[in-house]
């Protein structure tokens, strides 16, 4: 890691140099080296991700092969033990033939397991070696950014300052979009939880109406109470979501009708009329919740597209700043 403390000094020419300072030429050379190592690190990260997927798949295949080996071993053991399979094979004079076949299959399964163990060992060795390389290069990006900031501090360029201000605005907007998405995810999670509880309440309600008894009635009441709790907690969450949407100038979720999330009237009168009334209330709430889920999901999709566009704009600006610095 470069020790940059004390490196900042005035550069009047490439010849200017004293202990603790670097010339602009030296900074550019170190920048080029750090960028090469940073890009190498990124390529190795991609290789590592692919290798991890291969290793996961190899472990999955290994477990499957081990299960197959256990099955083949059990088949051999059955023929060698006092069992109906053994007796039947002996009576039909096919025991030796079947035993030989099962032993061959068990041996083939064992060879497959050993081969897969070797495959896993090779992949793990490659992954360990790759991780070691990544550890050696992990500071390259921080080093590159430090050098870049040092160079920026030594160059007074209006174009760079303008792009940096634009980048700050994009970063702020990205933070607001992320906050809106977090708020929307919470609303969506609560709505889905309520939908699950309402679906369960509807099922138990039907069972209760056709004579499910006291247990069905009790479970129905419990599920409705759980759905009520989920719906009642939505008001503050939706209000917070709307606030975050306003911050990013996106249409709010005001169409989510809070009055619709009213308490479901499942009272103590468990007669047929009240059962039908409660069942209709639950059905109506299911429709409201489903509609709300679709709306929130659509808003989250809009936020995701904005997030993606913002990130692309930020990456483009960063590239332009780096190009500008490299040209100076």
Same domain as 203, residue 72: no
Asked whether residue 306 is domain-assigned, the answer is: yes
For the chain, the average pLDDT equals: 75
Higher-confidence position of 210 and 102: 102
Token digits of residue 69? 């080996």
Domain boundary among 102, 130, 154: 154
Could you tell me if 137 and 87 lie in one domain?
A: yes
**CA torsion 104→107→111→117, rounded to 10°?**
150
Claim to verify: residue 169 and residue 112 sit in the same structural domain: no
Residues 124 and 226 occupy one common structural domain: no
Q: C-alpha angle 171/237/264, rounded to 5°?
A: 160
Last residue of a domain, one of 98, 133, 154: 154
Tell me, yes or no, whether 230 and 82 share the same domain: no
Token code pair at residue 274: 């009240």
Model pLDDT, residue 249: 76
Cβ neighbours of residue 238 closer than 8 Å, sequence gap 6 or more: 187, 253, 256, 258
Assess whether 111 and 170 both reside in one domain.
Answer: no
* 274 and 316 part of one domain: yes
Residue 276 within any structural domain of the chain: yes
Please give the residue range of the domain that contains residue 266: 160-327
Counting every residue written for the chain, the total comes to 328
The SS3 call for residue 267 is coil
Residues 142 and 55 in one domain: yes
241/166 same-domain check: yes
CA angle 272, 200, 289 (to 5 degrees): 100
327 burial type by CB count under 10 A (0-12 exposed, 13-18 middle, 19+ buried): exposed
How confident is the model over 178-223, as pLDDT tens digits? 989 999 999 898 888 888 877 777 765 655 555 555 666 676 667 7
Same domain for 143 and 205? Answer: no
In a domain, 7, yes or no: no
Residue 14 maps to a domain: no
Which of 154, 188, 222 corresponds to the end of one domain?
Answer: 154
CATH of the domain at 53: 1.10.287
SS3 label, residue 209: helix
Question: Taking the model in full, what pTM does it have?
Answer: 0.50
pLDDT confidence of 322, banded at 50, 70, 90? confident
Residue 196 class from Cβ within 10 Å (0-12 exposed, 13-18 middle, 19+ buried)?
Answer: middle
Could you tell me if 200 and 287 lie in one domain? yes
Distance between first and last Cα of the chain: 24
Cβ neighbours, 10 Å, residue 125: 10
Number of domains in the chain: 2
d(CA 197, CA 199): 5
pLDDT in tens, 243-294: 888 888 776 555 555 444 444 433 333 443 355 666 777 778 788 888 888 8
**Domain annotation covers residue 15:** no
CATH number of the domain within which 237 lies: 1.20.1330.10
Q: Do 150 and 168 belong together in one domain?
A: no
Q: What is the pLDDT of residue 131?
A: 92
Q: How far is CA 298 from CA 39, 49, 235, 245, 259, in A?
A: 37, 31, 19, 13, 21
Q: Is residue 135 part of a domain?
A: yes
């Amino acid at each position: 890691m470069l020790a940059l403390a004390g490196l900042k000094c005035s550069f009047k020419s490439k010849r200017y140099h004293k202990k603790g300072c670097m010339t602009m030429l030296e900074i550019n050379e170190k920048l080029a080296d750090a960028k090469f190592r940073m890009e190498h690190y990124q390529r190795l990260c991609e290789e590592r991700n692919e290798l991890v997927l291969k290793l996961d798949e190899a472990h999955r295949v290994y477990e499957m092969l081990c299960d197959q080996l256990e099955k083949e071993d059990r088949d051999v053991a059955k023929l060698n033990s006092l069992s109906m399979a053994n007796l039947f094979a002996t009576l039909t004079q096919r025991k030796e033939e079947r035993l030989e076949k099962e032993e061959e299959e068990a041996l083939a399964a064992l060879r497959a397991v050993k081969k897969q163990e070797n495959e896993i060992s090779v992949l793990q060795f490659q992954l360990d070696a790759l991780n070691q390389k990544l550890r050696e290069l992990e500071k390259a990006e921080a080093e590159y950014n430090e050098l870049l900031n040092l160079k920026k501090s030594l160059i007074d360029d209006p174009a760079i300052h303008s792009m940096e201000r634009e980048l700050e605005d994009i970063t702020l907007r990205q933070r607001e979009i992320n906050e809106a998405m977090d708020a929307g995810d919470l609303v969506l999670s609560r709505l889905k939880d309520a939908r699950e509880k309402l679906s369960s309440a509807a099922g138990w309600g039907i069972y209760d109406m056709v004579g499910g008894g006291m247990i069905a009635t009790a479970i129905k009441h419990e599920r409705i109470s759980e759905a009520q709790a989920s719906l009642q907690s939505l008001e503050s969450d939706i209000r917070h979501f709307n606030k975050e949407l306003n911050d990013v100038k996106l249409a709010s979720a005001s169409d989510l009708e809070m009055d619709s999330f009213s308490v479901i009237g499942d009272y103590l009168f468990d007669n047929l009329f009240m059962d039908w009334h409660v069942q209709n209330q639950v059905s109506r709430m299911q429709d409201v919740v489903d509609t709300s889920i679709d709306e929130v999901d659509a808003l989250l999709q809009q936020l995701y597209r904005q997030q993606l566009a913002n990130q692309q704009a930020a990456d483009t600006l960063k590239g332009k700043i780096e190009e500008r610095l490299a040209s100076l």
